[in-house]
Amino acid sequence: MEAEEGQEDQAKLTRRNMSLHCTYTALAMTSLAIGGLVLAGKLGELFVLSSVAVLAQYAVSAAALAMLAAQRRRGLRRMHIWPAPLALAAVVLVGAAARPVELVVAAGALAVGGVLLVARRSVRGS
C-alpha cells in the first residue's frame, strides 16, 4: 500500500515539475522577446501589441460568458448573454485602429500559443 502511495506522490511531483518547467520556459521566451523588442527600439510596437493582446483576452472572456450563459452553466442564465455582443463589438471597434501588421503579429502569437497548448496536451496524454 505504501509503495502505491509513493508512486502516486512521485507522479504528482513529476507533473508539478513539468508544469513549472513549462511555466519557466514560457516566461524565459517572453522575457527574451520583450527584451529584443526593447533593445531594437521598438517600444511603441510593444505597447501596441500589448493592447492587441488585451483585446484578445477581452474577446475570449466575452465569448466564454456567452457560451456559459447559453449552456446555463456556473449559475448563469440566458439573460446573462446580453453583454457579450456589446463587448465583442467594442473589441472589433478598438481593434479596427490596429494596423494590419500588428494584427498579423498578434495572430501569429496566438497561433504559436495554440500550437504550444496542443503540444502540451499531447505530452500530458502520453
Q: What is the mean pLDDT of residues 36-53?
A: 74
**Position with higher pLDDT, 84 vs 7:** 84
Cα–Cα distance for residue pair 5/66, rounded to 1 Å: 42
Cα-based distances in Å from 82 to 58, 71, 76, 96 = 15, 14, 12, 22
Residue 55 · residue 64 · CB < 8 Å? no
Query: Residue 12's pLDDT is what?
Result: 60
| Per-residue pLDDT at 1 exceeds 70 | no
